[in-house]
Structure 1
Amino acid sequence: MSGRPLRVLLVHPGAGLYGSDRMLLEAVRAVVAAGSRALLVVGEDGPLVELARRAGARVLVRPVPVLRKSALSPRGLLGLTGRSAVSAARDGALLRRLRPDVVYVSTLTVPTWVLLARAHGVPVVCHVHEAEAQASALVQRALAAPLLAATRLLVNSEYSRTVLTRSWPVLAARSGVLPNGVQGPAGPVPPPPAGGPIRLLYVGRLSRRKGVLVALDAFARVLADGLDAHLDLVGDVFGEHADFGAELADRLRDSVFEGRVTVHGFDPDVYAHLARTDLLLVPSVLPEPFGNTAVEGVLAGRPVLVSDVGGLPEAVAGVPSARLVPAGDAVALARALVDAAAALPDLQERAAEHAPVAARRFAPERYRAGVVEGLQSAIPARSRRWPGERPVNGR
């Protein structure tokens, strides 16, 4: 097609390499591969920044007002309003200078960008990766209210969409489900050699809501019952949850875990850890909108024990080697661990057979195509020049 490449402004609150961060990176790749110019505004510096630049985006690190539940208190709301007012003038000037064809807002936690872009007449696609179903109805409506200004919504699971449209039914007509695209391992991942302790793995934020303490309680039970096992924890404690980090450290000092638990910290190479793993645990206590970690386990051909809550069942739907466990129930998780250990060879065979199926279902290429389709649907037809332009490598 003729004409200049589309200009896409992407906005993301953080710069880590967890679930929504990785999906933002895939969105950048989608934009660049479609021949359009990608500018990423990110709220902090971190490993995502360099990866986005390598993917072809120009990256601008600047403060991004983030809507958290704490901001819904009078004091929190006052602080957010002040930060939003300061950023509105600066970010409005950026919009006028760049004149993007569409703005892609990653997560509903940066609502000021949705409102600001629409105020400047720019179409907005918001990609929703949250589902705060445990919050009060009033809080849920407040969190989702800015999305009423969005042109188009992409949502990462049917569960997330249900939570969203329960608050604002009018959003159903402009939203579509796009399951996350998850990069699999470079090739088949053989199971660890038989013999020795059964290797269990937890990957993700070390937090209460992710069920780390539930996993430890279940692990202590199976050790007491004589199961020879080792648990690896891969992840870190979010900065504002230092109190939980202290509680976790105290729990790990229990003598029952001596020589049985290894804490690795954050590591982006999940598959290196999965290669040494027999069973993956995804023990979330509160609803998750999706389950990237569960999908990574399936892609690596590993049996997975997953909490039956939120969007996690969608992530492992139809996977013969996945087992759903009641959320927050250490006794049930311990029982599932013992059962899975007894059936491990059969579960491993089923997991290996299903991995290629999951690789097609969650292919990053499928995800990128969905992002492009969502962005294109938000742009008036007369303005579309996409796809077909030559990649511009972020210039």
Structure 2
Amino acid sequence: MPQQRILVAHPSAELYGSDRVLLESVAGFVGNGADVEVLLATSGPLEQQLTARGARVRIVPMPVVRKSVLKPRGFVGFVSRSVVGLVSGLALVRRSRPSAIYVSTLTIPLWNLIARLSGTPLVVHVHEAERSAGRALRYALAAPLRLASLVVFNSIYARDTVQLTSPTAASTSRVIYNGVVGPETVVEARASLNRELRLVYVGRLSARKGPDVLVEAIARARHADMVTLVIVGAVFPGYEWFEQQLRTRIAELGLQSRVRFEGFQPSGYPFLAESDVAVVPSTVDEPFGNTAVEAMLAARPAIVSDTSGLREAGAGYSSVVFVEPGDADSLAHAIDRMVDEWQVMRDGAAADARAAASRHSIETYQGEIWQAVAQVIPGGEAAPILAAASPAAGAKG
């Protein structure tokens, strides 16, 4: 079979959850002999990682669907950028003549249209599950899926969310759970806490991710005097006010000496290795929960919001304690439970690490995502399913 050419479109150039999943998708394509070109909306750390995995990278402005699109001014700007992007995108596809286009998000539907107009098979990989968003926005995100040859969802929850809004949008689909790279070495949690419970939060700093709820919970915990917290992550540009608000609240609660900000880091695993418990306190819907899986892979007990795809990601692990989203008292109780039941939680996390490594194997993921793309290419159904080696790394939220 001739070499397949895969054109990939992705709106972000960071190294958070969906960005890292994209890396493994690209590694799977390259590992199966495909020629891969990735289109990114901006430059960023993802660019170098993609090049290291054997892909070519091109920076291409592309309109991204956000809530502002629903406002008249935002809609006009989105349409004008889409017209320009449509012309340049079609020209790019005519030059590169890809075997298939792989769009790794719901938020750049322009590339769905480009694929349809150019007659190129299209796979859309959905990482979003915005059930709490308004119906108009949910419909705007789901409707373009009708243009896809195949839709891949990263969880059952994400698939069901789309089908609630637009039942026919995902008529041809499959669920492929994220492959998550584990740490180079699994270091088991401490046998004894020695009067200090070390919590770690890894993810973007935003209200929807819940680090502010975690701070409130620490202050309310019965064992508050022995709890410390490391926050690994940064705000999205334009939301610096949230970090300042968070720091102010930490000072008001008298927790400055026990909360440390590390900013964005290329891997969360060094911080997980130094911690006792990971906390994933999201307050709204999440399509999946890479950060929760990373805690399992690192053999760390985790406190996880009992909602949406997080529930799916943490299911079946004995060292995961689910809490009510946005409820500081529920989270405080879970923190106390970790202290009171430490030996049980620690032993459970060691067993959970082995289960997570099997459930979220990179090799399995790369084979399945390649198979999904190969099946939409004429004559590609019998393509081999191989896996490319991936360096160990950590993902953010």
**TM-score of the alignment, normalized to the shorter chain, above 0.5:** yes
Is 1:349 aligned to 2:347, yes or no? yes
The DSSP-based 3-state class of the residue aligned with 1:138 is helix
Return closer, same or farther for 1:346/1:384 CA change in 2, 3 Å cut-off.
closer
Deviation for aligned residue 1:255: 5.0
Contact 2:144 2:169 (8 Å CA) reproduced: no
Tell me the distance in 2 between the aligned counterparts of 1:90 and 1:199: 51
Instruction: Quote the residue 1:166 is aligned against.
Output: 164
Q: Aligned with 2:283: secondary structure?
A: coil
> Residue 220 of structure 1 corresponds to which residue in structure 2?
219
Cα deviations by residue, 1:214-262 (Å, 9 ceiling, x for unpaired): 0010011127x55411011000011132222221222122252021100
Q: Which runs of 5+ in 1 are unaligned?
A: none
Using the alignment, how far apart are the partners of 1:257 and 1:244 within structure 2? 17
In structure 2, the residue corresponding to 1:244 is in which secondary structure? helix
Residue in 1 that maps onto 2:120: 122
Separation (CA, whole Å) in 2 of partners of 1:69 and 1:366: 35
Contact 2:219 2:253 (C-alpha < 8 Å) held by counterparts: no
Equivalent residue, structure 1, for 2:393: none
Give the C-alpha shift of residue 171 in structure 1: 3.0
Contact 1:192 1:275 (8 Å CA) reproduced: no
Q: Say if 2:151 is the partner of 1:153.
A: yes
CA distance in 2, matches of 1:88, 1:148: 18
Asked if 1:49 is matched to 2:47, the reply is: yes
Partner of 1:87: 85
Identity across the alignment (%): 42
Q: Is the 8 A contact 1:298 1:351 kept in 2?
A: yes
Give the aligned partner of residue 316 of structure 1: 314
Matches within 5 A, 1:355-370: 355-370=353-368
Q: Within the alignment, does 1:244 sit opposite 2:265 as a pair?
A: no
AA at the equivalent of 1:141: Y
Equivalent residue, structure 1, for 2:207: 208
Alpha-carbon displacement from aligned partner over 1:56-77 (angstroms, at most 9, x marks no partner): 0011012121111221222111
1:337 partner letter: I
Aligned CA-pair RMSD: 1.6
What 5-or-longer segments of structure 2 have no aligned partner? 389-397
More divergent stretch after superposition (62-71 vs 291-300): 62-71
Counterpart residue number, 2:331:
333
The whole-number CA distance in structure 2 between the counterparts of 1:388 and 1:312 is 29
Supply the distance in 2 between the matched residues of 1:357 and 1:51 (Cα, whole angstroms).
Answer: 28
C-alpha displacement of 1:193: 6.2
- Is the CA contact (8 Å cut-off) linking 2:283 and 2:326 kept in structure 1? yes
After TM superposition, the runs of 4+ consecutive aligned structure 1 residues lying more than 6 A away are none
**For residues 276 and 192 of structure 1, do their structure 2 counterparts lie closer, same or farther at Cα, with a shift above 3 Å needed?**
farther
Residues 107 and 126 of structure 1 are in contact (CA less than 8 Å); yes or no, is this contact kept in structure 2?
Answer: yes
Letter in 2 for 1:170: T
The one of 217, 239, 252 equivalent to 1:254 is: 252
How far did residue 379 of structure 1 move?
1.7
TM superposition shift of 1:384: 5.8
Q: 1:36–1:386: 8 Å Cα contact kept in structure 2? A: no
Given the two structures, how large is their TM-score scaled by the length of structure 1? 0.94
CA deviations 1:53-111 (Å, max 9, x no partner) are: 11000110121211112212221111111111111111111100000010000111110
Kindly provide the amino acid, as one letter, of the partner of residue 158 in structure 1. Answer: I
1:98-117 superposed matches below 5 A: 98-117=96-115
What are the Cα deviations for residues 331-383 of structure 1, in whole angstroms up to 9, with x where unaligned?
011011101111011100111012111101001111111111110122223x6
Deviations along 1:183-242, whole A, 9 cap, x unmatched? 01122212146314110011000100001110010011127x554110110000111322
**One-letter amino acid of the structure 2 residue matched with residue 144 of structure 1:** A
Equivalence for 2:137:
139
What is the rounded CA distance, in whole Å, between the counterparts of 1:10 and 1:59 in structure 2? 9
Letter in 2 for 1:52: L
Q: Find out whether 1:387 has 2:384 as its counterpart.
A: yes
Amino acid at match of 2:8: L
| Aligned amino acid, residue 191 of structure 1 | A
Deviations 1:7-26 (A, max 9, x none): 00001001100000001111
Cα-to-partner distance string for 1:300-347 (whole Å, 9 max, x where unaligned): 111111000110011111000101101010001101110111101110
Counterpart CA distance in 1 for 2:381 and 2:149 is: 15
Letter paired with 2:9: V
**In structure 1, C-alpha distance between the alignment counterparts of 2:385 and 2:263, rounded to whole Å:** 42
C-alpha distance in 1 between matches for 2:8 and 2:216: 41
Deviates more, 1:133-142 or 1:174-183: 133-142
**Partner-residue secondary structure (3-state), 1:288:** coil
Q: How many aligned positions are there?
A: 386
Contact 1:6 1:385 in 2 (8 A): no
The more displaced of 99-108 and 244-253 is: 244-253
Give the corresponding residue for 2:391: none
Corresponding letter in the other structure for 1:104: Y
Query: Which residue pairs with 2:394 in the alignment?
Result: none
- Matched position secondary structure for 2:228: strand
Match of 2:277? 279
Q: Normalising by the residue count of structure 2, what TM-score does the alignment of the two structures yield?
A: 0.94
CA distance in 2, matches of 1:242, 1:270: 21
